[in-house]
Structure 1
Amino acid sequence: MATLTPQQTRAARRTWGDRARNWLLPAVALERVAVLRVLVYLFVPLDVLLLHTIGDTRSAANAELYSPLLIGRLLHLPVPNETLVLVCKWGSALLALAALSGRAPRVLGVGVLLLWAEYQVVAFSYGKVDHDRFAFLVALAVLPTVGRARLRGCGSSEAAGWALRSVQLAVVATYFYAAWAKVRFGGWEWVNSATLARAVDRRGTVLSEWMLDVPWTLHVGQWVIVAFELLAPVVLFVNERWRLRIVAFFLAFHLATYAGTTIFFWPHTLCLAAFLPLERLAPRLAVAAERARERLGLPGTRSPARTS
């Protein structure tokens, strides 16, 4: 068996290093990041004002029940009161809308991240933590790092590729570690447990209640869930055609979950957009933004997703 010379070894290392760098820092169209920013920043007010409002009521009702998450203890975050929670709630919503204007995007982006993250800490410091917010939190953290990104003609960037890859990794980690948690706490017998049966019994719809009379279907569903969560990392290493198919399966799973149990992972599902060629939507979104600006009588034609 032939051995490599020192020169060949260094060349091989450079080759693998270049491949790793190209995978982690792919040159991606900045328009893709611009569209994702619009989706993310539009979701923030929808989330804190409509979808996830439990933090303010619980903290204002009884601060003595507050048991901070690990990050709250490490950062010595203050015990929440009604004023703090309302500042985080309305501050994150208003800053997110302001970020759509394209002004001071790094400052506004960091502001949204800090306020939204603190709102989550408060909301989840009463005994329940939703894992569907991890990828969205990563998205808020990395999108301000990209730099200038517009909806029209701004080329490609490794910074954009790194931000999108980070969100993709967070999405995959959410799936994979969800399966790991099931096995860790429930053992491998989780797949044959009554977890889905309890979910359908508590929150079932006409589309799923019949499964209670055919319990093997629920067991098969649990096997499918664990299998796809463990295999989720595959989406990171396939070509675009297969990547789109896998993402379509992810989306179908979440839609089926909602149809059967009225549970939907809103922020996580939105982050699936990081896998999609969003730049194809950029021209239409730019036109819609310009028309909205004209109707509102706002000066200039600057795209709301323009960032620097």
Structure 2
Amino acid sequence: MSRWLTEAVPRGRIAAFRTLIYLFVAADLVVFTPWVRARVDVPGDLYQPLFVGRLLPLPTPTPALVGVIFWALLVLVLLAATGRAHRVLGWTVFALYFQWMIVAMSYGKVDHDRFALLVALAVLPTAGRARHGDPTPTEAGGWALRVTQIAVICTYFLAALAKFRFGGLDWATGSVLAKAIIRRGTELADLIAQVPHLLLVAQFGILAFELLSPAIFALSERWRHVTVGFFYSFHLVTIATITISFAPHLVAMTSFLPLEKIRPLVVARRLLTGRLAGSRATLDPGITSPTPTADSDGQPDATRPGWAWAVPRSRKASRSRTTAAP
């Protein structure tokens, strides 16, 4: 069990996951949950904090308090996405976002799609230093990803238990999806609803999918990735039919993927330095190359940057030009 929990992963995967998670938190503040700042305009009597909010205890939110949390979190999360000071920034971001979520969910509605994201924010500060593209294995990073993966699967499995707890088998045999389609369904959902018994089959399928989700840990890496693809397709259908977005959960679910193969910072650096453009010019003869510079005797100077992009394709021609250059 210890080896499984701390299975080493490349540091590059941790760097990519860390950047993705923190950038999503920034997007969440301005795109998905900006309404949190408006909730504090209601009377304080309507604020009924979650159990953890009463346990700590946390103050009743005010416009000033929520505004400070918003702007501090927005700045710090962008700094944390760079991977610098991962412990100090990581713990601070987790504390502030945790408070942000308590404010958001203490007015009568609790979204379970943010559980895995909060777990990811809690464990990322323990993952250690990581650079994009670094293949060095890390057990600390493996533990952080594994715990996040467990939280992702718990979101499914515990959702099934909650369905049985509050609805029993009536959840599967009732009109849950029909009511959701009536409330917020799309045209695609209207077409699906016309197929006899399809919604009942879908409800049984959802329960089976959620109850069997822990089996993903018994699969090989290849089939685990296939299963994760199925999870994403399930949420795509959910968004397309009843417009329910699980964006925080979907971001946390990338903990199952080999993110080290995606190196956005390296690509950006190459774009800025011109290396990527230079390689494209070498591979594509149709790309116009800069005019090579010349030295005092009129011959092209191979030591200058412009000449490197004008090297001919032919090896024979390349040797002749190199010989001609001083």
TM-score, normalising length: structure 1: 0.86
Indicate the larger mover: 95-104 or 178-187. Answer: 95-104
Deviations 1:108-153 (A, max 9, x none): 1111111111010001000000000000000001011111111133
Check conservation: 2:73, 2:93, Cα contact below 8 A: yes
- Structure 1 CA distance, aligned partners of 2:225 and 2:41? 44
Provide the residue aligned with 1:288 in structure 2.
267
Provide the residue aligned with 1:278 in structure 2.
259
Check conservation: 1:49, 1:89, Cα contact below 8 A: no
The equivalent position to 1:170 in structure 2, one of 147, 151, 157, is 151
Are the structure 2 counterparts of residues 241 and 153 from structure 1 closer, same or farther at C-alpha, using a change threshold of 3 Å? same
- Structure 2 CA distance, aligned partners of 1:117 and 1:215? 44
What amino acid is the match of 1:59?
A: V
- Structure 1 CA distance, aligned partners of 2:11 and 2:178? 45
Whether 1:184 aligns to 2:144 is no
Displacement after TM superposition at 1:101 (Å): 3.1
Provide the residue aligned with 1:13 in structure 2.
none
The equivalent position to 2:222 in structure 1, one of 217, 236, 241, is 241
The equivalent position to 2:83 in structure 1, one of 81, 99, 102, is 102
Are the structure 2 counterparts of residues 291 and 111 from structure 1 closer, same or farther at C-alpha, using a change threshold of 3 Å? farther
Displacement after TM superposition at 1:215 (Å): 4.8
Indicate the larger mover: 271-280 or 97-106. Answer: 97-106
Over aligned residue pairs, what C-alpha RMSD do you find?
Answer: 1.5
- Structure 2 CA distance, aligned partners of 1:227 and 1:255? 18
Deviations 1:12-57 (A, max 9, x none): xxxxxxxx11111101111111100111011011101111122211
Whether 1:128 aligns to 2:109 is yes
The structure showing larger relative contact order (alpha-carbon pairs under 8 Å, at least 6 residues apart) is 1
- Structure 2 CA distance, aligned partners of 1:99 and 1:194? 45
Percent identical among aligned pairs is 49
- Structure 2 CA distance, aligned partners of 1:225 and 1:90? 39
TM-score, normalising length: structure 2: 0.81
- Structure 1 CA distance, aligned partners of 2:15 and 2:89? 15
- Structure 2 CA distance, aligned partners of 1:293 and 1:81? 43
- Structure 1 CA distance, aligned partners of 2:67 and 2:196? 45
- Structure 1 CA distance, aligned partners of 2:70 and 2:164? 35
Secondary structure of the residue that 1:60 maps to in structure 2?
Answer: coil
- Structure 2 CA distance, aligned partners of 1:288 and 1:62? 49
Are the structure 2 counterparts of residues 292 and 138 from structure 1 closer, same or farther at C-alpha, using a change threshold of 3 Å? farther
Check conservation: 2:83, 2:129, Cα contact below 8 A: no
- Structure 2 CA distance, aligned partners of 1:262 and 1:55? 20
- Structure 2 CA distance, aligned partners of 1:278 and 1:244? 12
Deviations 1:154-174 (A, max 9, x none): 501110110000000000000
- 1:203-222 paired onto structure 2 within 5 Å: 203-222=184-203
Whether 1:159 aligns to 2:162 is no
Check conservation: 2:46, 2:107, Cα contact below 8 A: yes
Deviations 1:45-75 (A, max 9, x none): 1101111122211122322200000000110
- Structure 2 CA distance, aligned partners of 1:48 and 1:215? 41
Find the structure with the greater CA-based Rg.
Answer: 2
The equivalent position to 1:223 in structure 2, one of 204, 209, 212, is 204
Provide the residue aligned with 2:236 in structure 1.
255
- 1:8-27 paired onto structure 2 within 5 Å: 20-27=1-8
What amino acid is the match of 1:55?
A: V
The equivalent position to 2:61 in structure 1, one of 68, 80, 91, is 80
The equivalent position to 1:267 in structure 2, one of 248, 251, 262, is 248
Check conservation: 1:152, 1:286, Cα contact below 8 A: no
- Structure 1 CA distance, aligned partners of 2:4 and 2:91? 26
- Structure 2 CA distance, aligned partners of 1:235 and 1:132? 19
- Structure 2 CA distance, aligned partners of 1:215 and 1:49? 41
Provide the residue aligned with 1:305 in structure 2.
none
- Structure 1 CA distance, aligned partners of 2:86 and 2:269? 19
Are the structure 2 counterparts of residues 129 and 199 from structure 1 closer, same or farther at C-alpha, using a change threshold of 3 Å? same
Are the structure 2 counterparts of residues 197 and 85 from structure 1 closer, same or farther at C-alpha, using a change threshold of 3 Å? same
Indicate the larger mover: 179-188 or 101-110. Answer: 101-110
Indicate the larger mover: 58-67 or 262-271. Answer: 58-67
- Number of aligned positions between the proteins: 274
Check conservation: 1:30, 1:154, Cα contact below 8 A: yes
Check conservation: 2:15, 2:83, Cα contact below 8 A: no
Indicate the larger mover: 68-77 or 88-97. Answer: 88-97
Check conservation: 1:55, 1:124, Cα contact below 8 A: no
Indicate the larger mover: 199-208 or 147-156. Answer: 147-156
